[in-house]
Amino acid sequence: MNNLLILIQCKDKVGLVTDITRILALHKLNIIAMREFVDETENKFFTRIACSGIITDKLVLKQELIAVLPIEAKVNLVTKKEKNIAVLVTKEFHCLADLLVRAHFKTLGAVVKCVIGNHSTLQEFAEKMGVPFFYVAHENKSKADFEREMVQLLINYELDYIVLAKFMRILSPEFIQQYPNKIINIHHSFLPAFVGASPYRQAFERGVKIIGATAHFVTNNLDEGPIINQQTIHVNHTLNAKQMAIGGREIEKAVLSKALEQVLEDRVFISGNKTIVFE
């Protein structure tokens, strides 16, 4: 008996659920949990089906599903295996530490294969946690060279996702295009407010009464990729920008780890510049 996750994303048409579930029944797969969503604006269909049963031939099942689905359907059959991630950091510890502690105690749902830092600040901690840390300075070299160094490290691992855990360099489109839908960033504001540098400084100057954090996939446009998860907390006049940043750490790490959990459990579909998240 295996567990199988079936992820389908295609144009919508009448009868999709029936067609899909009929095929599963023929394969004697039992549906444990099923979520579906129709985006009526875009006429798109999404489903995530967890089933159990004896899966003799995944390829046959996939072909049978594709046969009843509209053309250009994306069908993904996932049998549970631990995913691999790399984490990029600068100096701030809180997001990285949160991920490494979870990984250490086997509750992250992924193995952290390596950490790359453009400062060496977090090297000691990563190594204490038993994770290889590579210090790749960004100084005195071109962005292209900086990124090439990172890529040469990253290609050593079969990575499912790259997590920017308060990595304070802007990645080039060339880098990003090598990892489509695979780079997840935590931005320290409730996007689309306060894009770019120093969001807490901007928040302080605007006099907002909430601060927040946003986890999103990284695309070519800075801070404009598909949002996975966001949260806000209340602040007041007594906090300056630095104190907001300290308070914001708590929500940054909470939002990042929640988003990562959702992604690693294959609950997140990307559709244009949005996400569908089956909770």
Q: Considering beta carbons, is residue 125 or 157 the nearer one to its own copies?
A: 125
Asked if 179 is part of the footprint of its own copies (rule: CB under 8 A), the reply reads no
The region of 16-24, 73-81, 165-173, 180-188 touching its own copies under the rule CB under 8 A is 16-24
Return the residues of window 214-243 that contact its own copies according to CB under 8 A: 214, 226-232, 236-238, 240
Return the residues of window 107-136 that contact its own copies according to CB under 8 A: 107, 125, 128-129
Asked if 165 is part of the footprint of its own copies (rule: CB under 8 A), the reply reads no
Is 223 tagged catalytic? yes
Q: Considering beta carbons, is residue 16 or 154 the nearer one to its own copies?
A: 16
* Shortest Å, Cβ 123 to its own copies: 13
CA–CA separation, 271 and 133 (whole Å): 34
* Shortest Å, Cβ 201 to its own copies: 12
Asked if 264 is part of the footprint of its own copies (rule: CB under 8 A), the reply reads no
Return the residues of window 29-58 that contact its own copies according to CB under 8 A: 30-41
Map residues 63-82 to x or -, x wherever contact with its own copies holds by CB under 8 A. Answer: --------------------
Using the structure block, give the residue that is written with the tokens 């631990």: 82
Q: Cite the active site residues.
A: 223
- Interacting residue ranges for its own copies, rule: CB under 8 A: 14-18, 21-22, 24-25, 30-41, 93-94, 97-98, 101, 104-105, 107, 125, 128-129, 190-194, 206-210, 212, 214, 226-232, 236-238, 240, 246, 250, 254, 257, 273-277, 279
